[in-house]
Amino acid sequence: MQNIPLVNLKSQYLKIKNEMDQAIFDVIDQTAFINGQAVQDFENQFAKLYKANYCVPVANGTDAIYIVLKKLGIKDGDEVITTANSWISSSETITQVGAKPVFVDINPDFYTIDENKIEAAISKNTKAIIPVHIQGQSCEMGSIMALAKKYNLHIIEDCAQAHFTEYYEQHVGLFGDASTFSFFPGKNLGAYGDAGGILTNNERLALNCKMFARHGALKKHEHEIEGINSRLDTIQAAILNVKLPYILEWTSKRIENASLYNKYLADVKEIVCPKVRPNTKHSFHLYVIRTKKREKLALYLKEKGIETAVHYPVALPNMKAYQYLNYKPTDFPIATAYQELMLSLPMCPELNEEQIVYIANCIKQFFAIES
């Protein structure tokens, strides 16, 4: 029997162990734990890879969204539109600045916010949209930017799952006012703890975000405003710097692995494999299939040594945390139906063809027994 984790962080570490150990040791040796050189290096290199004017390194991907919303002036009484299927950071940050999250159902093929249902959710209080490039799939940015222009709305792209995803050959993350990234260990570019970042081409917004994340001071003891403590840790920055030179190769490997899954699962009628939005590059943070027999399949795969997960078992508006908004599950027919059907199969650059064949064969065996 094989043992295939959802994400193989250990195997990735072993491939870069020498340089990684050295980079971590160097930070300790220099005792530059806060705002060390590695943080500045990451800021420069990440921005450069994206051809973005500014990167603001922060403590995690959730803070990144909160900080951007705050510095765009989103506040009490405002509404911000986001998707029904995401991690709670996409919406809890809206509440953190005092605004109200307004959820929109997802596109049945691509899992991202349904661009055709956004306009109906816009009110006179709407100030921004947070499109989430979920699973690594690009949102329909053309339609979303057109709405932003028509209604004068801010756009904050949540790129936590979409490092180097492309929409018409442009990286997602530079379409809106700013974009936010998570470098949580399991993300496509992951630190060895919490880490995050903001990208923007807007100089004033970049400086305001940076100042806010550092207690309201760009220079030590010169507090122009009150802020928060959301610095990127130097050790985490050093870890990210080691990984940056590999990230494009790792992204290609994910895409390759997704094609292999598609190939080996093509004739399994009981499941729906992920589709890629035309004219985009999906970075496959997750490889999500849909099946009516999800629970039984997950259990069967577990017995075969294959780890799976559900992203996510409850759509955001259906959560207890949002009961106060008085939504009904039927307001989000696709997201509500899919919360019972989605299953994430192992996906990472370290996954190989032999393992994918094994996983595909186990899935076929399961449906042969079931039918």
Ligand X SMILES: *Cc1c(COP(=O)(O)O)cnc(C)c1O
Which residues contact ligand X (rule: CB under 6 A)? 60-62, 86-87, 89-90, 132, 158, 160-161, 182, 184, 194, 196
Helix (H, G, I), strand (E, B) or coil at 242: helix
- Using an 8 Å Cβ cutoff, are 341 and 294 in contact? yes
> Of 163 and 290, which CB lies nearer to ligand X in the complex structure?
163
What is the smallest separation between the CB atom of 182 and ligand X, expressed in angstroms? 3
What is the smallest separation between the CB atom of 138 and ligand X, expressed in angstroms? 13
Q: Where are the alpha helices (DSSP H) in 246-311?
A: 247-265, 294-303
- Give the span between the Cα atoms of 175 and 161, in whole angstroms: 16
Token digits of residue 317: 């508006």
Alpha-carbon torsion 135, 332, 63, 57, what sign? positive
- Give the span between the Cα atoms of 260 and 266, in whole angstroms: 10
What is the smallest separation between the CB atom of 149 and ligand X, expressed in angstroms? 25
The alpha carbon of 269 is separated from its chain's Cα centroid by a whole number of angstroms, namely 29
Residue nearest ligand X by beta-carbon distance: 61
> Of 177 and 194, which CB lies nearer to ligand X in the complex structure?
194
> Of 86 and 208, which CB lies nearer to ligand X in the complex structure?
86
DSSP annotation string for 299-345: HHHHHTTB--B-S-SS-GGGSGGGGGGT--GGGSHHHHHHTTTEEEE
> Of 23 and 67, which CB lies nearer to ligand X in the complex structure?
67
> Of 181 and 261, which CB lies nearer to ligand X in the complex structure?
181
Token digits of residue 313: 């078992």
- Using an 8 Å Cβ cutoff, are 248 and 233 in contact? no
- Using an 8 Å Cβ cutoff, are 112 and 133 in contact? yes
Token digits of residue 138: 């690009």
> Of 127 and 163, which CB lies nearer to ligand X in the complex structure?
163
What is the smallest separation between the CB atom of 318 and ligand X, expressed in angstroms? 17
- Give the span between the Cα atoms of 10 and 8, in whole angstroms: 5
**C-alpha distances in angstroms, 113 versus 30, 75, 88?**
45, 23, 15
> Of 208 and 230, which CB lies nearer to ligand X in the complex structure?
230
Give every CB contact of residue 365 below 8 A, 6+ residues apart in sequence: none
> Of 89 and 355, which CB lies nearer to ligand X in the complex structure?
89
What is the smallest separation between the CB atom of 313 and ligand X, expressed in angstroms? 14
What is the smallest separation between the CB atom of 288 and ligand X, expressed in angstroms? 13
Token digits of residue 199: 């990208």
- Give the span between the Cα atoms of 137 and 68, in whole angstroms: 22
**DSSP H or E segment with residue 157:** strand 154-158
What is the smallest separation between the CB atom of 64 and ligand X, expressed in angstroms? 7
What is the smallest separation between the CB atom of 197 and ligand X, expressed in angstroms? 10
What is the smallest separation between the CB atom of 302 and ligand X, expressed in angstroms? 23
> Of 184 and 192, which CB lies nearer to ligand X in the complex structure?
184
